Structure 1
Amino acid sequence: MAENEVKQIASKLESLRGSQLSSQAPPLLSRAKLALLRLNALVPSEETHKSHLHLATTILELGALISIRLRDTESFTRYYQQLQPFYAIEGSAWSRSHAQSNQSKVTGLYLLLLLSVGDYAGFHTVLEGLEMSAGNEKLEKDQFIQYPVRLEQALMEGSYDKVWGETKGEHLPSDEYAVFSEVLINTIRSEIASCSERAYPSLPIANAKNLLFLDSEGAVVQFAQSRGWVAKDGRIYFPQQEEEMLAAEKDVMSASGMVIENTLGYARKLETIV
């Protein structure tokens, strides 16, 4: 009975689209996990029936992918962690057909999440584990794994234009990858913005558009306002840079005043000696 219920819920979850995800998916996933508990399959063991293991893996993978579509990274991370003992018991998904498991897709998404938050150590730890379990040859043919690997290489090289190119729709291995790709671009944009406001007093809006990978000058102005920059006369001005320059000028003036005062005092002492 519980097994049939899980199968029906899995079928329903796979059919959900758009607004149905946020309204129907969470209660359906809760029902499925309760049914798996009744089957003693939510926590896997060597004694768990193989068909129940497969059902649990399917539900947890659907939960992970739905969490991505709902932009709930915390929920996605929990599902990814719950899936690890199932993958360990069932064996590597790279030795099974894609129709049987979404391990490759879910793992690639997790690698992309690690990149988007700058956790490079965690990224390489996961990747090394995959290399040991699946082998380099299989991983090199896996589009879901190679996508974050290419992005990480481009980031290490500082080739942000390559990263930007990889995040275009035609390069994404699946729709779910667009979520983290967008987060990654926003992170890179923020880093470039921080460097720019320290390096320049101002920039032409047209140059800032290309530098920040924005689609229009209007988007540049909007981004500038969110950073507290000033957009006027076709340029972006960085108030922080101006404040630092003014502070530096004040320091110079203050230091110059001290030098002059010390010099005059020294001159007065000489007159007294003479």
Structure 2
Amino acid sequence: MAPPQLVQLYRELQQVFTSGNLQQTGVLLTRLKIALTQAGLLVLLGNPDPQDLVIARDILEVGAFWSIRTKDIPSFDRYFSQLQTFYNDFSSVLPPSPREYPLRGLNLIRLLTQNRIADFHTTLESLPLRADALTGNPYIAHPINLEQWLMEGSYSKVWNAREEAPAEEYKFFVDSLMGTIRNEIASCEEAAYDSLPLKDAATLLFFKNQSEVLAFARERGWQVDLTAAKITFAKKTEEKVEIQKEKLILADLHYARELEQIV
């Protein structure tokens, strides 16, 4: 059985996390990871008690959600990696966790934000769900739709998907995706136009207000004329390569003579 101190900390964690106190949640998670290690429940050895495994799984799941809410992606990666043992190796001895598929879905969207499309599909295929059940699970259907819309270039659908997120934490990754999309759109605008009306730029970049556009314009080095309500794009200097005509002509003549000799 898990040590009484670990069980007490676990109960405190549940209360604090439910209350929304992220700072105290982080403090308790640090203490609990040490307690889990000492109890042999973080690196699993032997045949631990299933009840203890449920406690350890719950703690790691809270840690994964806490990581997203504090915008700490490396921490999320670590927690989700540790949860794989519970989800994959002990699925037959543990009761299902209601947090499993929300976290699996979050991991899929994380892969999309990092443009790891091959890993996305590999992870999707490894899920313990039938192919016809994937789209029936709202937490998995959401990243599947996002990936399809990204491949199609249907960025407006990606933007609208933020409001259709099956859990609040999903919005963080959708916002991250939109950041990547905005930079791609901005690069296309810079190549296609010398300038654009401020309002049109805001629409194309999915910004809700002028202050967001101005902040983005500063990051990109664009010139903004508020009086004319226009953005002028900074053109990148094109490199000019001088071609030495005489050397090319001499080389062509040399090749021509060699061809005559061969013929």
Question: Is this a same-fold pair by TM over 0.5?
Answer: yes
Partner residue of 1:158?
153
Q: Is the 8 A contact 2:195 2:233 kept in 1?
A: yes
1:249-264 to 2 correspondences below 5 Å: none
- Structure 2 counterpart SS, 1:41: coil
Query: How far does residue 146 in structure 1 lie from its aligned partner after superposition?
Result: 1.0
- Structure 1 counterpart SS, 2:224: strand
91 and 46 in structure 1: CA distance in 2 versus 1, 3 angstrom threshold? farther
Query: How far does residue 39 in structure 1 lie from its aligned partner after superposition?
Result: 2.6
TM-score by structure 1 length? Answer: 0.79
1:198 to 187, 191, 198: 191
Partner residue of 1:21?
22
Q: Supply the RMSD in Å over aligned alpha carbons.
A: 2.6
- Structure 2 counterpart SS, 1:240: coil
Partner residue of 1:73?
73
Could you tell me how far apart the structure 1 residues matched to 2:174 and 2:10 are? Answer: 27
2:136 is aligned with 1:141 = yes
Could you tell me which amino acid in structure 2 is paired with residue 230 of structure 1? Answer: Q
Could you tell me which amino acid in structure 2 is paired with residue 195 of structure 1? Answer: C
Q: Is the 8 A contact 2:223 2:233 kept in 1?
A: yes
Q: Is the 8 A contact 1:5 1:32 kept in 2?
A: no
2:209 is aligned with 1:208 = no
Unmatched runs of 5 consecutive residues or more in structure 2: 246-263
1:48-88 CA-partner distances (Å, limit 9, x unpaired): 21111111111111111101101000000011111111212
- Structure 2 counterpart SS, 1:40: coil
1:40-59 to 2 correspondences below 5 Å: 40-45=40-45, 47-59=47-59
Partner residue of 1:112?
109
% identical aligned pairs: 39
Partner residue of 1:265?
none
Query: How far does residue 92 in structure 1 lie from its aligned partner after superposition?
Result: 7.1
Could you tell me how far apart the structure 2 residues matched to 1:213 and 1:8 are? Answer: 47
Aligned positions, number: 241
Q: Is the 8 A contact 2:2 2:52 kept in 1?
A: no
Q: Is the 8 A contact 1:201 1:237 kept in 2?
A: yes
Partner residue of 1:39?
39
Partner residue of 1:234?
229
Could you tell me how far apart the structure 2 residues matched to 1:25 and 1:186 are? Answer: 29
- Structure 2 counterpart SS, 1:203: strand
Partner residue of 1:5?
5
Could you tell me which amino acid in structure 2 is paired with residue 229 of structure 1? Answer: W
Could you tell me which amino acid in structure 2 is paired with residue 41 of structure 1? Answer: L
1:114-129 to 2 correspondences below 5 Å: 114-129=111-126
Structure with greater helix percent: 1
TM-score by structure 2 length? Answer: 0.83
Could you tell me which amino acid in structure 1 is paired with residue 65 of structure 2? Answer: L
Q: Is the 8 A contact 1:230 1:237 kept in 2?
A: yes
